[in-house]
Structure 1
Amino acid sequence: MIDSLNLQPIAVVRSAFKEKFGIPRQPGLANSIISTIELLPEFASAEAVRGLEQASHIWLIFVFSECVDKGWSPLVRPPRLGGNKKLGVFATRSPFRPNPVGLSPVKLEAVRVEGNKVFLDVRGADLLDGTPILDIKPYLPYSDVIEDAEFAVADKIEKLDLPVVFSPEAKTVCELYEQNSGSSLTEQICDILSCDPRPAYKKNDSERVYGVKLHNFDIRWQITNDQIYVESIVSTGT
């Protein structure tokens, strides 16, 4: 029996998500956002990723790095249940676990070998910028898809069916970003806010203005009964 393991990260995530708040709670919910997995120097060889480009999707095994020193409890309150009901930690995807390890299936957009560096561009990752990656595996459609799988607690995707309305100032920032980057900041913000990042116990407060960081922007927004309103988008300069 192995009493302990010493696991070494093989890569790090370069992500638009600069803080935990606002990150979709599951992968694949913000598919407009592309993240990059950068292999660390010891593992960054073209040989190590040979053939991976044939996979449409990959598994990322990672460390909940922000939770390493936070401890764990056998019972947790899943946000999906409104934060009022408890489930066993092993019946949830809570990051506060005995071993703070997670896994996410993501769409592989590109494998890039640039000199002595190796990058994987992925779509739909729910990972904080700087997250350590422990392993990368190809997604196997014939075995990783279980057609009759069930889990009554979370049996469907939950997203808000509300229009996202941008203030004129916020809309201008989005237009400038798209001109300079070629990607849609509008779509990325819509993806994130439709996942409703608000804590469960605050969802009845339609007056509260929230902030979420994405790329180098501080985005201020609120959710009412009939819309998601993006009030401002301000560059943080970092």
Structure 2
Amino acid sequence: MKAIGKIYTDFPEKFGIPRQSGLVKQLEGRIILDPPYNVKEAFDGIEEYSYLWILWQFSECIKSDFSPTVRPPKLGGEKRKGVFATRSPFRPNNIGLSCVKLENVTHTKEYGTVLTVSGIDMKNGTPIYDIKPYIAYADCKPDAKSSFADIHKNDKLTVKINDELKVQIPNNKLSALIGILECDPRPAYQNDESRIYGISFANMNIKFKVSNRILTVTDIEK
């Protein structure tokens, strides 16, 4: 299997990226495919769908050896689950699957057809393997159970950013940043209230700490 293009996002590093697609709806990315896949004809009719499935490569998590079990971060990094019972990036074929919203389709001279999508959970430059339309009547399963993921689906932090720091954040990135921080980027096994964490997002280094389920942004470096 070979990559057919890449997605370009505001995440230069893994840390801080939402653990699932759709958790932060304001996060956008641009999918640019390589020739000959970027021709207009290959996307004919794609505007008739509101959501897409993206198959991509966990390019930062490639390992030569196979482990049948992994430690999901949401379980505190202590309990093991079978790799096929999780969405761990450490998989035999390192393939990721994301459901994203199609925001815009642009046909350009330089890049060919470019897709703008939202709800992304991918690092900048992530290789793309394939794009398929989301079909609601077949893909939506309201009665599905989701193991430990159901228990933690509403785990969100309260985010506090003072006005002095808030003015340093571009207006079109503020709501996305708050959404990222609400999802608690920290590994579940790290709960040191004195520790200062940092995530790189949209050409900013956001410093923060967490205490009593309240995340406070302490500094922003550019």
User: Given residue 154 of structure 1, which amino acid in structure 2 is its aligned partner?
Assistant: A
Structure 2 residues without counterparts, runs of 5 or longer: none
- How far 1:39 moved relative to its partner? 1.1
- How far 1:70 moved relative to its partner? 5.7
- TM-score by length of structure 1 reads 0.88
Partner of 1:190: 178
Partner of 2:27: 33
2:166 to 161, 164, 171: 171
Show the 5 A alignment for 1:60-209: 60-69=54-63, 71-115=65-109, 117-155=112-150, 157-162=153-158, 164-174=159-169, 177-178=170-171, 183=172, 185-203=173-191, 205-209=192-196
The verdict on how the C-alpha distance between 1:109 and 1:224 changes in structure 2, with shifts beyond 3 A counting, is: same
Higher helix fraction: Structure 1 or Structure 2? 1
Q: How many residue pairs get matched? A: 220
Q: Residue by residue, what CA displacement relative to the aligned partner does 1:181-219 show, whole Å, maximum 9, x if unpaired? A: xx1x2211211111111112212x111110000011111
Please, which moves more after superposition, 146-155 or 20-29? 146-155
For residue 211 of structure 1, give the secondary structure of its aligned residue in structure 2. strand
% identity of equivalent residues:
43
Q: Is the 8 A contact 2:157 2:182 kept in 1?
A: yes
- TM-score by length of structure 2 reads 0.94
User: Given residue 126 of structure 1, which amino acid in structure 2 is its aligned partner?
Assistant: D
User: Given residue 89 of structure 1, which amino acid in structure 2 is its aligned partner?
Assistant: V
For residue 212 of structure 2, give the secondary structure of its aligned residue in structure 1. coil
Say what the alpha-carbon RMSD is for the aligned residues: 1.4
Partner of 2:206: 219
For residue 138 of structure 2, give the secondary structure of its aligned residue in structure 1. helix
Q: Is the 8 A contact 1:78 1:87 kept in 2?
A: yes
CA distance in 1: counterparts of 2:155 and 2:34, whole angstroms: 35
Runs of 4+ residues deviating >3 angstroms: 69-72
Q: Residue by residue, what CA displacement relative to the aligned partner does 1:97-135 show, whole Å, maximum 9, x if unpaired? A: 111001000000011111251111000010010100000
CA distance in 2: counterparts of 1:54 and 1:159, whole angstroms: 34
